[in-house]
Amino acid sequence: MTKKTKIALGVFGAGLVGGVALAMFNDMTATREPTATERLRRLAEDGPYVDVTMFELAKAYDENQVSADGRYRGRALRVAGSVSAVLRDRDGAPLVFLGSSRNRNLVGCAGVDEHTAARQEPGDGVVMKGVSVGSQSGMPMMLFCSIEMAR
């Protein structure tokens, strides 16, 4: 076997091995299961949704957190209510709260984009979509929230 033939076979072999490795990698990434965060984000965006008012959700958690978790936690919700406050969490991300006219926060919503949160004012009627994570600090909370409709 000549030197040129050995070089040609070496290049061909390296290309073949590289191509097989690339095909295996692409196949592995294409069939990768979505992470829990990706699944929750998709659920928040696509539903199916449980329709509930902010008063119904808050009352369910006030009366029996265990029962309310069984009905709502981990499910996509569409919550109708009024904005009571727009704040920031410790990391600076917007939080939109739904609540009563007495400025009592009843339901917390995290994950609203900055631009949308900035446009909300207390008293605005909205429908928030998100995934319930149960009660935090005595209040029902949702993640990956978006405003579906505002008046």
CATH of domain 39-150: 2.40.50.140
Listed by start position, the domains of the chain span 1-32, 39-150
In the three-class reduction of DSSP (H, G, I as helix; E, B as strand; rest coil), residue 43 is classed as: helix
pTM of the predicted model as reported, rounded to 2 decimal places: 0.73
Identify the bridge partners of residue 14 per DSSP, sorted by sequence position: none
* Beta-sheet pairing, 105-110 with 125-136: unpaired
Digit-by-digit pLDDT tens for the chain (151 residues) are 676 655 654 555 555 555 555 666 665 556 788 888 888 888 888 889 999 999 999 999 999 999 999 999 999 999 999 999 999 999 999 999 999 866 588 999 999 999 999 999 998 999 999 999 998 888 999 999 999 765 5
38: tokens are 């990706």
Residues 6 or more apart whose CB falls under 8 angstroms from that of 126 comprise: 80, 81, 82, 83, 96, 98, 120, 147, 148, 149, 150, 151
